[in-house]
Structure 1
Amino acid sequence: MKEQNKDNKIPIDNLLSRLKTQELLIVNPRRKNGLIIYKKYHAEFIGPGAIVGGNFDLDAVDLIPVGNLSLVSPQNSPERRQAYKMRRQWVRLTKQIIDNPEPTERAQVILNQFEHWFDIATVANLPDEAFALLVGVLPQTIRKVRNIELL
């Protein structure tokens, strides 16, 4: 896989326009990083190893990098195929959380998962709205669960 740039800093505005052109990229599988992609009515988390772009993200309206975002270009068909599989795995993980009918529990689980994947400081810097859109709850529900954790 070829790194997109040496310091791995891709301007978010630039990345959003690149996604609109159907460019395919992979979230670096060798780092704790990811991308929250805002769509019109929901958000998706794209974790390490997963493909970003192509037809999947033409409807992206905003992006939030998680961790020290690093994107790489797929070099061949097997790499792309593996990245598609990883994208499907991240979607399935999110679906397992969403399948819980209790909003407060969905909020708790997504926050716990992100703290497990990253760290408390990274999670604290992500907006309530992003988590809410990931698991289909109101931002107030995320805020309530975060406040309970602080007690």
Structure 2
Amino acid sequence: MDSRIQSYYQPALLLAQTPCSSIGITDSCGSSSMTHINESQNASEILQLLHNGQVLMVNSRRRNGLIVIKRFHAEFAGPGAAVGGFYDRDCQAAIPVGNLSLVTPESHEDCQKAYLIRRQWIRLMKQITEKTVPQQRVQKILEQFEQYFDTETVNRVSDEAFALLVGILPQTVAMVRRPSSIERRRI
């Protein structure tokens, strides 16, 4: 069996961001083990998987996603999207959004479908970045995230991450997200 295709059949890896963050590794037979780790280790574990080139999918049955930080921009991989593989080896950081769950594609067809879904998420970000006014970009990305995630989850995403997603300065994100706090600083 081709080593590339064989990697698709590796055990599923579930990453959940909870108050006492833990990683559950589930093998193909359904048995699992839990290891308690802190949140920064969770992000570093994800980053290591992406750097190793392992292809994973964001679980399509949960409201979750992964912001993949590249050198000069960021990409959002929402439910059903592929992460890892050749395309994300150059990532600098990975930010889980919501109750992140990553699973291994079960077949080559699942993998192809996941890459198509990732492309749809990239196209959505492209539509947002086509707006010429930076404040409109921020407003649109915030609206998109708030439609899908709860307010608490959206508030946990940093200004810097949103700025990298839509190609603007973090100060612009802060100004749109918290206009009253920016105005008080100016006075």
Q: Is TM-score (shorter-chain normalized) higher than 0.5?
A: yes
Percentage identity across aligned positions? 49
CA RMSD of aligned residues (A): 2.0
CA distance in 2, matches of 1:146, 1:39: 23
TM-score normalized by the length of structure 2: 0.75
Letter in 1 for 2:166: V
SS at match of 2:120: helix
Give the 3 Å change call, closer, same or farther, for CA 124–5 of structure 1 in structure 2: closer
Question: How many aligned positions are there?
Answer: 150
CA offset digits 1:102-123 (Å, max 9, x no partner): 1010011001111111011111
Asked which structure has the greater RCO (Cα within 8 Å, sep 6+), the reply is 1
TM-score normalized by the length of structure 1: 0.92
2:173 aligned to which of 139, 142, 146: 142
Q: Contact 2:53/2:85 (CA < 8 Å) preserved in 1?
A: yes
- Which consecutive residues of structure 2, in runs of 5 or more, have no partner in the other structure? 1-8, 24-41, 182-187
* Number of the residue aligned with 1:4: 13
- Which consecutive residues of structure 1, in runs of 5 or more, have no partner in the other structure? none
State yes or no: 1:47 paired with 2:78: yes
CA distance in 1, matches of 2:64, 2:110: 18
Aligned 1:1-151 pairs, distance under 5 A: 3-5=12-14, 9-10=22-23, 11-148=42-179
SS at match of 2:140: helix
CA distance in 2, matches of 1:65, 1:44: 12
Quick check: 112-121 or 140-149, which moved more?
Answer: 140-149
* Over 3 Å off, 4+ runs: 5-10
Q: Which has the larger radius of gyration?
A: 2
